[in-house]
Amino acid sequence: MTDRYTKAVNSGFTQTLAKKLGLPRPAVLRRYRAGDSLTVGPVLVVSDGASKADADAIAQTLLGWDLDVRREPTDDVRWGAVVLVLTEATAPTDASEAVLATGSVLRRLAGNGRVVTVSRAPADGDSPALSATRHGVDGFLRSVAKELRGGATGNGVVLTDDVAVDDPSVLGTLRFFLGAKSAYVDGQLLRVGPTADGVPAADAPEPATDRPLTGQVAVVTGAARGIGAAIARTLHRDGATVVCVDVPAAGEALAATANAVGGTALQLDVTAEDAGERILAHARERHGRLDVVVHNAGITRDKLLANMKPGQWDAVIAVNLAAQLRINAALLEAGLEGLRIVSLASTSGIAGNKGQTNYAFSKAGVIGHTRATAGLLAARGGTANAVAPGFIETEMTSRIPFATREVARRIPSLAQGGQPVDVAEAIAFLASPAAAGVNGQVLRVCGQHLVGQ
């Protein structure tokens, strides 16, 4: 699926016209299809001197994924990806050689290619030089992502000090960034820590598994349409049995989604006092368990604060934030083992947005409760994470006036809006066993939108 503008400016006649008019010509993004190769070409693995052993381990894993792995930049291939390993760099000058090696192949990076950095997260007690080096990777990665073209993206895996590069979650995150499931994730760094208590790394499945959610039960709120329906489809594709939740007014669409994914429908207003208990009861009674909860239901009541009415403020806080808190409290109370919660935040909750003080408060709040809940779930082997979409093409955004919509679409590095499935893929990744070490994080799915980082 591609938006009409992207289709038009990339088709024969209009392509020439668009070029003459100087309109941005966003690339057609490669999205996941079962059976396609992970990358679009050979993968170059480079590192600074001290990180060579880590780079070797990563190269070994990539070979195991049937990729064509190279260790030297050459001019004779169209590269599918560059993996830049800087895990053991301790001084800013350490990165120089590997960074320049990366630069040397960028002109031969294929469309929909990938640059992925693998580095360490700054930590308390880092020396100034170490902290500078670790932070430096952040500024570098976000810059290089802005330079890539043709649907290529740049993202970073950031390991905490207590995690090895061959940790399943590190490899799972690397795989997500290398492949087509992260098509609209760009310029982002995702932190990977040790797997939560109760989920020993040895039990974690191969990240290459095709249906990682087999046998699991997932609940998706706001599942009747748009992004929610895409999430339900994607979790189903990954093997989960999906409980589709939406308000009674959306009953017909909800039933259609539930049928399409072979799941069940639960008509429920998420702001109901007992919403959490009812979700839990439905999942247990109908499917015998509950493993994943996706808080996708949300509303907007955009208004400048100067014109905001109490009902507009309160409704947004109630649906987007208070309801999630109440449902999570019930889930925590139930003490489920290994529960994965993924909540929908927004770039508006990170950078703010004109006319969205209420929405931005609620979405920043989602980030807040995600961080706090992460610690509580970790004790039972679970995780809480958030996904922050940028401009996503939905029925809702199709009602935005044309000019405003066009501007919003072209601002990200990828020069186009994302598709609901892009958000769904990020959520499916965060719900999967491969992401067991990703906890309390916010993953933006925004094509590297200018706003926020």
24 binds its own copies (CB under 8 A): no
- Residues numbered 320 to 349 that lie near its own copies (CB under 8 A) are 321-322, 325, 328-329, 348-349
Q: Which helix (H) or strand (E) holds 431?
A: helix 420-431
Report the residue number, 24 or 92, with the smaller CB distance to its own copies.
92
- Give the total of residues touching its own copies (CB under 8 A): 82
**CA of residue 386 relative to chain centroid, distance:** 8
Choose which of 7, 71, 286, 354 interacts with its own copies (CB under 8 A).
354
Contact 394, 429 (CB under 8 A): no
Tally of CB atoms within 10 A around 103:
13
391 binds its own copies (CB under 8 A): no
Q: What are phi and psi of 59, to 5 degrees?
A: -60, -40
Choose which of 272, 304, 379, 407 interacts with its own copies (CB under 8 A).
304
- Residues numbered 61 to 100 that lie near its own copies (CB under 8 A) are 91-93, 95-96, 99-100
- Nearest approach, Cβ of 365 to its own copies (angstroms)? 4
- Nearest approach, Cβ of 304 to its own copies (angstroms)? 5
Catalytic residue flag (residue 32):
no
DSSP structure class, residue 71: S
- Residues numbered 411 to 450 that lie near its own copies (CB under 8 A) are 450
Spatial neighbors of 206 by CB under 8 A, at least 6 apart, are 168
b/e sequence 352-386, b meaning 16+ C-beta within 10 Å? bbebbbbbbbbbbbbbebbbebbeebbebbbbbbb
Tally of CB atoms within 10 A around 184:
29
Choose which of 164, 305, 379, 396 interacts with its own copies (CB under 8 A).
305
Query: From the candidates 5, 32, 184, 359, which is the catalytic residue?
Result: 359
- Residues numbered 116 to 175 that lie near its own copies (CB under 8 A) are 122, 124, 126-147
Choose which of 15, 251, 375, 404 interacts with its own copies (CB under 8 A).
375
- Nearest approach, Cβ of 425 to its own copies (angstroms)? 23
50 binds its own copies (CB under 8 A): no
366 binds its own copies (CB under 8 A): yes
- Residues numbered 186 to 225 that lie near its own copies (CB under 8 A) are 187
- Nearest approach, Cβ of 208 to its own copies (angstroms)? 30
- Nearest approach, Cβ of 276 to its own copies (angstroms)? 13
**CA of residue 125 relative to chain centroid, distance:** 30
From 125, 57, 136, select the one nearest 89 (Cα to Cα). 136
Spatial neighbors of 386 by CB under 8 A, at least 6 apart, are 342, 343, 344, 345, 366, 367, 370, 441, 442, 443
369 binds its own copies (CB under 8 A): yes
Give me 4's structure tokens. 């009409």
Report the residue number, 53 or 372, with the smaller CB distance to its own copies.
372
b/e sequence 6-16, b meaning 16+ C-beta within 10 Å? bebbeeeebee
Q: Which helix (H) or strand (E) holds 221?
A: strand 217-221
- Nearest approach, Cβ of 250 to its own copies (angstroms)? 25
Range in contact with its own copies (rule: CB under 8 A) among 255-263, 278-286, 350-358, 423-431: 350-358
Active site residues: 359
